[in-house]
Chains A and B, each alone.
Chain A
């Protein structure tokens, strides 16, 4: 007998419904009420939004798909592990993750992404390679076992006649803060104006003397910082291990493809596809629910290559 393929380092993932299914939805035994279902939909959408926002920021401005996105989520989650290990307040993991993610992102943009702006498919591959490297470095440092982090918020809250996870409601608020923060950054600041100028018409932006390489660098850093932040926010929802981020990569990637460069479109895509995911998971099968986002996104793109970007 042959040695089984060692292709996927995914044995740890088997506790989940499948290796590519983020454990977003609490699988309940009892029948869901309309209210909990609604809350599931909006909070799932919020979590998807949080997880995808950093990828969108990078793709929107740089037109580069950061396939190391999952690794940055993992880095963020391990920031929470480190914070816990040092006995610090778990909330401190958020700024720590943002800074770590942004610094690593800056180095990555300089060394790996910058030479590949003209070769977007190769940039996907190189960042995927980087994801492998980061995953292995984390494994070397922390081991491959599942880590435990202190809960940011626990318990339930009474919303509209239903008892619901307090943390998931918090995630909704966090998504709103991230979304509004980004809206302010894009619409209200000079950096955002420059970034929008690059999205709309890069040759003109350069002809006006905008420092496009600096704007790209800063955007990449914000994107990766935000992604690491999202990694911290994920810790109460999923187990932390060196490959945890990969489970989220494809879903975020598909949502971003559909949303283009618009945060509004991303919010809508998260709500529609996240909603579909909750419904399929609840009423049909959580395993099939896990591929809902990817399959629906692919179909939407097949019908209209702009996806929801025109919304």
Chain B
């Protein structure tokens, strides 16, 4: 079921290892994300979730293994190429240019100003509050609004695969609900595939079709979201 050669996989990782310098963070990891599904990768801090996303995006180079996007290897692709070929990324650490306006933050996500207006209309559909506040500096937004901006930026080019790093961190339930709604809409309206890295169990189980738990750079457990998922995942996440 999780064979990396699975047909119809949007993104497949096979035996991937990566890290920084002599430090191995991801160890021999295999994972397959199907076209059109929302997949939640759970795990506590320091378990390699962010590094995994960076490895997929080419920001950290994989030392071993294969990464396939639509069946083609992307191990040596640059972030620029991947974004051009339809990948979106919502990072967690220092994710915004806080001194730039909302408009400029969004503008940096499109390759040319010609396509800017159409892309803006697309994200206004999910988060209408952005429309009236384009001139405001990103750093002056509230925490929840910043997260919505980060997600909006990842959606600008209407990607067909989005990598999202802990978008729910530190947010109120009402904001989380808005984000969940946007993700589900992307999935149902455009068939977008979404890989979520999460610590928030409630949010992850609400949106994800399938999940996996990452521990010390390896997949510890995985399954389809169902009634027993909560207990199983909590077993891995609890103190």
User: Which residues of A line the B interface, CB within 8 A?
Assistant: 190, 193-194, 196-197, 200-201, 203-211
Contacts and interface: CB of A to CB of B under 8 A. Distances in A.
Given A209-B79, A210-B80, A193 B104 contact: yes
B130 interface: no
Nearest to B112: A190
B97 A204 contact: yes
B221 to A, nearest CB: 29
Contacts of B109: 208-209
B95 A204 contact: yes
B108 interface: yes
Contacts of B99: 200
Ranked 8 nearest A-B pairs via Cβ = A209-B83, A209-B80, A209-B79, A200-B97, A211-B80, A208-B108, A197-B108, A207-B91
Main secondary structure of the interface of A (DSSP, over half): helix
Interface of B: 54, 57, 59, 79-80, 82-84, 89, 91, 94-97, 99-100, 104, 107-109, 111-113, 153
Given A190-B112, A209-B84, 14 more contacts: A190-B107, A193-B107, A196-B97, A197-B108, A201-B94, A201-B97, A204-B95, A205-B108, A207-B54, A207-B57, A207-B59, A207-B89, A208-B153, A209-B80
| Interface secondary structure of B, over-half rule | loop
Contacts of A190: 107, 112-113
A210 B100 contact: no
B135 to A, nearest CB: 13
B89 A196 contact: no
Contacts of B89: 207-208
30 contacts: A190-B113, A193-B100, A193-B104, A193-B107, A193-B108, A194-B108, A197-B97, A197-B100, A197-B108, A200-B99, A201-B94, A201-B97, A203-B59, A204-B91, A204-B95, A204-B96, A206-B79, A207-B57, A207-B59, A207-B79, A208-B79, A208-B89, A208-B108, A208-B153, A209-B79, A209-B84, A209-B109, A209-B111, A210-B80, A210-B108
Nearest to A189: B113
A191 B80 CA distance: 16
Contacts of B91: 204, 207
Contacts of B96: 204
Contact of A204 (B84, B94, B112): B94
Nearest to A214: B80
Contacts of A203: 59, 94
Contacts of A200: 97, 99-100
A124 B84 CA distance: 35
Contacts of A209: 79-80, 82-84, 109, 111
B19 to A, nearest CB: 17
Contacts of A193: 100, 104, 107-108
A201 B100 CA distance: 11
A209 B59 CA distance: 10
B56 to A, nearest CB: 12
Contacts of B113: 190
A190 B59 CA distance: 23
Contacts of A194: 108
A210 B83 CA distance: 9
Nearest to B156: A208
A310 to B, nearest CB: 13
Nearest to B107: A193
Contacts of A196: 97, 100
B226 to A, nearest CB: 34
A203 B89 CA distance: 13
A225 B95 CA distance: 34
Contacts of B95: 204
Contacts of B80: 209-211
Contacts of B108: 193-194, 197, 205, 208, 210
B83 A208 contact: yes
A97 B109 CA distance: 35
A193 B153 CA distance: 16
Query: Considering residues B79, B100, B112, which has the most beta carbons from chain A within 10 angstroms of its beta carbon?
Result: B79
Contacts of A208: 79, 83, 89, 108-109, 153
A190 B107 CA distance: 9
Nearest to A206: B79
Nearest to A187: B104
A207 B80 CA distance: 8
Nearest to B98: A200
A203 B54 CA distance: 11
A211 to B, nearest CB: 5
A196, A203, A207, A211 — most chain B CB neighbours (10 Å): A207
A60 to B, nearest CB: 15
